[in-house]
Chain A
């Protein structure tokens, strides 16, 4: 398939010639009889990014991405599209900052409009203790060149006069802002990586569910699928949300529980919020989409589930969080809400690692922070799959870290996955 370069000139040319020259953005493939050097299980954002960087950075192009449904139909299309690199701990922050830098060049790299919008993100501060904690996090961000700024109460009020500054329970005293944070059109991330990978020779195989692994003498030789057995030199599982179910087929239990996170969008409003605003004390985060809808979310439902829908108490909880800081949303109608399944790990941080089965690798445990990590997750997983060594910013994401007592627990709540 020849690569069509997208450009304003191309759009103009097609507009004048009846749009007859467009081709499918990626090639819908069937499994090759003689197998692949690498099989990526899971055609979400992370899986497609992994295939893309394996081909681009490491020259490995005999790759298949297996997806049980359609690409981009899982969590990459269910999140609230926020990108940021405002973490505290050394195991996390350099990784997320690398992701941010990849986001900044993503569209040029992929020649694909992913609507990367660095509109900024603002974490509201409500108490002296929270200010101290955010200042510490801000310093960690500065160490990692992520950039940040402190806004005092007056500056916050000037920018967003609709905020309830003098709320009795959570008065707003300021904010920690990361001006480079923002939002990205999430579907376009999956499509852009799929197109980039496909152009480099990767087979994207949809409607192909992995039903088992062919493991002999502790070595993975390939996968069993609904489209038959497929041989592979190396298998990389990348199915956050279904990690425990897929890895159980290889006999591996993980330090992960599955929980549902709900997200919401309102009817379209005129431009009111040119930033991502987060209310950590009550857990509510919100941005305004280009169509005008307020996109927001809050806490997970807090019980194990694989159903991609939540229950009403959390809807009420999230909406009251919104009302507490921006009462003007009270008269806005909710347009849609949905749920996605999160791999909640035991310390709130992810895994990119080898497993005890030779040639079987694992990427997952992203909790509800997987979207922002997409580029770096793919980049680092590709590095591990190609070189057998973790990338330097992803050395902490090991599966055995709990056994060694080296957790990466941003919140400090311990092995209680529904609280991360």
Chain B
């Protein structure tokens, strides 16, 4: 698979490490809330595991060390779009 890095252009997926769903950006923020245990359980262990277009985190370990959000079809391996994870995260209102 070729991942079209927003800054570096097309790179072989072998340069990257795969983490999982881009939902992992949304780490629960309030660890003191009543629901914190349940929130962290859902965050850490439960997956939607989509068959189709999946937004997922790839880390450019052998490149510029950036985290990317790659939208990739899990039925065909076709990559639809690639964004910098920090842009996605900030667009969701997180600080970084």
- A interface residues, Cβ below 8 angstroms from B: 244-245, 248, 253-258, 302-307, 311, 313, 346, 402-403, 415-418
Chain B min CB distance to A162 (Å): 30
Q: Which of A245, A254, A303, A305 meets B47, CB within 8 Å?
A: A254
Identify which of residues 48-72 in chain B touch chain A, using a CB-to-CB cut-off of 8 Å: 48-51, 54, 56, 72
Question: B25-60 CB contact bits vs A (8 Å, 1 = yes)?
Answer: 000000000000000010011111111001010000
> Number of contacts between A and B (CB, 8 Å)?
65
Chain A min CB distance to B48 (Å): 6
A311 to B18, CA, bound (A): 14
Contact yes or no, B18 A257, CB < 8 A: no
Asked whether any CB of chain A lies closer than 8 Å to the CB of B74, the reply is yes
Beyond the given A244-B47, A255-B47, A256-B47, could you list 15 further A-B residue pairs with CB under 8 A, ordered by the A residue number? Answer: A244-B51, A253-B49, A302-B18, A303-B13, A304-B54, A305-B74, A306-B51, A307-B74, A307-B77, A313-B14, A346-B44, A402-B44, A415-B44, A415-B45, A418-B20
Contact yes or no, A418 B18, CB < 8 A: yes
Contact yes or no, A257 B76, CB < 8 A: no
Contact yes or no, B49 A256, CB < 8 A: yes
Residues of A within 8 Å of B50, CB to CB, are: 304
Chain A min CB distance to B78 (Å): 10
A307 to B75, CA, bound (A): 5
Number of residues from B at the complex interface, CB < 8 A? 22
A61 to B53, CA, bound (A): 41
Q: Secondary structure at chain B's binding surface: helix, strand, loop or mixed?
A: mixed
Asked whether any CB of chain A lies closer than 8 Å to the CB of B7, the reply is no
Residues of B within 8 Å of A418, CB to CB, are: 18, 20
A227 to B50, CA, bound (A): 25
A415 to B19, CA, bound (A): 11
Contact yes or no, B49 A258, CB < 8 A: yes
Residues of B within 8 Å of A307, CB to CB, are: 74-77
Most chain-A CB neighbours within 10 Å: which of B20, B44, B47, B76?
B47
A253 to B77, CA, bound (A): 22
Chain A min CB distance to B38 (Å): 8
Please name 22 pairs of A and B residues whose Cβ atoms are closer than 8 Å in the assembled complex, sorted by A: A244-B48, A244-B49, A245-B49, A245-B51, A253-B47, A255-B45, A255-B47, A257-B20, A257-B47, A303-B72, A304-B20, A304-B49, A304-B54, A304-B56, A307-B74, A307-B76, A311-B77, A313-B13, A402-B41, A402-B45, A415-B44, A416-B20
